[in-house]
Amino acid sequence: MMWKRLVCALSGLLCLGASPPASHVLIRGGHVFDGTGAKAMRADVLISGDRIVAVGPDLQAPRDSRVVDAPGMTVLPGLHDLHTHLRSPGFDAPDDLGKAYAGHLLNGVTSVNDFSVSGEMLSPIREMVASGEVAAPQLQLAIRIGVPGGHGTEYGWGDFFTMEAATPRAAELAMNRALAYQPDVIKVFADGWRYGRSPDINSMSLPTLRAIVNRAHEAGIAVITHGDAGRRQDRCGGWRGRAWPRHRRRARGRRADRTDEGERHGLCPDHGRLRAAAGPRLPSG
C-alpha cells in the first residue's frame, strides 16, 4: 500500500517501527522532498536528536547512528493539519484522544491545529504530552469564541467550551479569560452561515470581532475566524492583505515560525474562512 512507502522523517519522527531512539538517524537513498517547492531528489537525510543537520548525497553516518535504507521510498517533511478536532473521539472514551494523536503521527502528520479543546484542557494536555507518556504531534491549541446562539455554541456545550461575546465589551472580558489559559491561537466563529444545510444562526458583529482580534494581536496570538467568505466579503472592506496563522515548522538545524506572504496582517476571505494573523491593530473604521 502507498502509506507503507512513506517515510515521514524530516520532522525527526519515523514511521518505521518502534525501535529505541538513537542520537543520530541516517535515512539513506530516499526520494527527498525538502518542503521548499523544489523538485524531489535522491539524497540522504541526517538527523541529530530532533534536528535535521544535513541533506545530500552519500552522507556519512556517525558511529551511533540508526541507519534506515529508503530506496524506493519517499522522504518528506512532517505534514501540518491546519484544522482538526482531535477531541471529538474522546467524549465517550477519553483514551481515544491518544489514539487520535497516534493516527496522525502514523500517517506523517506531525503538526496540528486543534480547535476542539476548552480552556481547562490546555494545561493538562500540555503536561501529558511533555511527560512523554503520550506521543503527540506538535499541538497548536485554540480557545474558541462565538456569539450566543451562534455556531460553536448551538449544541449546548456551554460557555466553558466556546466562550460567548455579543458586544465589544463582552469580547474584552472573554479575551481576559481566554488569554489566562495561554492559548496558541484564538478561533472565532464570526458567521452563522450553516453551509446551506440548515437556516442561518447568529453572526458576530464587526466591532466585536475587531475587539477580539486587536486584543489577540496585542498579546502576539494568531486568530482564525470561521465564516463564509463569499457571503460576508463586505466584512473585509479594504483589508486585502492576506495573512495566515503562524505555525512552526522544522528547518535544517533550527525551528522557524512562518507566515505566508510576509507580514501583511488583516482579515481576508480564503477557503471559506476569514483568517487573521498576529500583527498591527486593525483599522477602526
> Tens digits of per-residue pLDDT, 73-129?
999 888 999 998 887 654 555 567 888 899 999 999 999 999 989 999 999 999 999
Q: What is the mean pLDDT of residues 130-159?
A: 90
pLDDT tens for each residue of 163-185: 999 999 999 999 999 999 999 99
d(CA 230, CA 166): 23
The alpha carbons of the chain give a radius of gyration, in whole angstroms, of 21
Q: Assign 42 a pLDDT band (cuts: 50, 70, 90).
A: very high
Q: What is the mean pLDDT of residues 242-249?
A: 31
Q: Assign 162 a pLDDT band (cuts: 50, 70, 90).
A: very high
| 5 CB-contact burial (10 Å; exposed 0-12 / middle 13-18 / buried 19+) | exposed
Lowest mean pLDDT segment, chosen from 73-82, 133-142, 194-203, 211-220: 194-203
Query: Are the CB atoms for 190 and 203 separated by under 8 Å?
Result: yes
User: What's the pLDDT score for residue 94?
Assistant: 56
User: What's the pLDDT score for residue 169?
Assistant: 98
pLDDT tens for each residue of 251-266: 333 333 333 332 223 3
Res 55 pLDDT > 90: yes
Q: What is the mean pLDDT of residues 183-211?
A: 91
User: What's the pLDDT score for residue 222?
Assistant: 93
If you average pLDDT over every residue of the chain, what do you get?
A: 75
Query: Are the CB atoms for 172 and 214 separated by under 8 Å?
Result: no
User: What's the pLDDT score for residue 156?
Assistant: 76
Q: 15 versus 277: which is more confidently predicted?
A: 15
User: What's the pLDDT score for residue 89?
Assistant: 57
Q: Which domains does the chain have, with CATH numbers?
A: 2-75 (2.30.40.10), 79-276 (3.20.20.140)
Q: 29 versus 267: which is more confidently predicted?
A: 29
Res 276 pLDDT > 90: no
Q: 229 versus 83: which is more confidently predicted?
A: 83
User: What's the pLDDT score for residue 200?
Assistant: 87
CB atoms within 10 A of CB 154: 16
User: What's the pLDDT score for residue 34?
Assistant: 86
Coil, strand or helix: which one is 111?
strand
